[in-house]
Structure 1
Amino acid sequence: MDDQGDNSFPSAPRAVEPATVAHINPVTGLATDYLNHFNEAIMLLEMLPACPDCRDDLRAWTPMRYCEHFRRSRFTGRNRAIAAYESADPATRDMLEALTETMIALVERARKEIDAETNARVSAGIAERTAAWLKLLAEQASAVINGQRTESTDGPPQSAADRMIG
């Protein structure tokens, strides 16, 4: 059979849209790449029970807001991500910010408690609980970024963090 008449092969890829390159949700204008920052903290907390030396890495983790994260990243679409964020729906941005403020407060509280704790088993429990809560919050933040969550039910970040670790 002649290959020239075979239409079973997909056509050549089209040019990628700039929003796709930047992994920006076209509906919300937000990029999931920001959550990688929190995934790093989750990973460190999950490793802490088996690797107490991760405490130093956890101490070194620096909270960053959305635009700051992209300004410091090597992410190819960082300027587009910042511009899209700045023009995103304020209510959606506020929802994401409330979740990430809660995540930051949770990590900071856990770090303080882990640093103050001398019992490795208790520290491991704090790290495991915090990682579990952060995963849930990261899922909620991802839902906001992807336009799947439309209303906020979270309280102030510190009170939420207190309830979670409590």
Structure 2
Amino acid sequence: MADDDDPAFLAMQARVRGTNISPDTLLATDYLNHFNEIIMMLDMVPDMPDLVEDCAEWQPKSYPAHFADSTFRDKDLAIEAYDYCPARFREPFDATIAQMEDLALTTVSEMQTALAEGNTDSVTQTARLASRALQRLMDMASAIIHGAQTTMDQSEIDTILGH
């Protein structure tokens, strides 16, 4: 991580201009596509509960690993730039991503348990609530990528999930 006035940050800022990497944060929204996958599956679970098993195949992927596996045009630059993201963006971004990963994995576990118990109503409700919460967190992550400095605390997530 770098500071905004760090010469390395300023040099990286110049390198990312004209790419899909934010020159303000040195982060790219393409990473959020990884979370779009689980959100789309959760949105379909109420109509197709068998998709719970497909949801279980989704696993967290680090920012560098996502880009290493992607077809993103500037993927090598995105990986390199991540290390120069200023702490004031990187820390809330990483915290938001950790919340999303935890929520996705917990949701899948809860849905699997409910499905094994034959409680499809619980599966449906869990999928819908988690999808909404993940979308809100993804919106926050996107805002951070574009320069906002905000996070959602656990109590806000619990409220969305009805806990």
TM over 0.5: yes
Q: 1:107/1:143 Cα in 2 relative to 1: closer, same or farther (>3 Å)?
A: same
TM-score (norm 2): 0.81
Count of aligned pairs = 145
Alignment-derived partner of residue 149 in structure 2: 150
Counterpart of 1:123 in structure 2: which amino acid? V
Alignment-derived partner of residue 22 in structure 2: 25
Partner SS for 1:150? coil
Q: 1:128/1:153 Cα in 2 relative to 1: closer, same or farther (>3 Å)?
A: closer
Give per-residue Cα distances to partners, 1:56-109, cap 9 Å, x unaligned: 210100111211111121222111101111111022111111001000000011
| Contact 1:110–1:127 (8 Å) recurs in 2 | yes
Alignment-derived partner of residue 11 in structure 1: none
Tell me whether 1:65 sits opposite 2:62 in the alignment: yes
Which runs of no fewer than 5 residues in structure 1 stay unpaired? 1-16
Q: How many angstroms apart in 1 are the aligned matches of 2:92 and 2:70?
A: 23
- What's the C-alpha RMSD, in Å, of the aligned pairs? 1.9
Alignment-derived partner of residue 73 in structure 2: 76
Tell me whether 1:40 sits opposite 2:42 in the alignment: no
| Contact 2:16–2:26 (8 Å) recurs in 1 | no
Structure 1 residues 82-93: aligned runs within 5 Å: 82-93=79-90
Q: Which has the larger radius of gyration?
A: 1
| Contact 2:133–2:157 (8 Å) recurs in 1 | no
Show structure 1 runs of 4+ deviating over 3 A.
17-21, 159-165
Alignment-derived partner of residue 112 in structure 2: 115
Which runs of no fewer than 5 residues in structure 2 stay unpaired? 1-14
Q: How many angstroms apart in 1 are the aligned matches of 2:56 and 2:149?
A: 33
Counterpart of 1:142 in structure 2: which amino acid? S
Q: 1:161/1:107 Cα in 2 relative to 1: closer, same or farther (>3 Å)?
A: farther
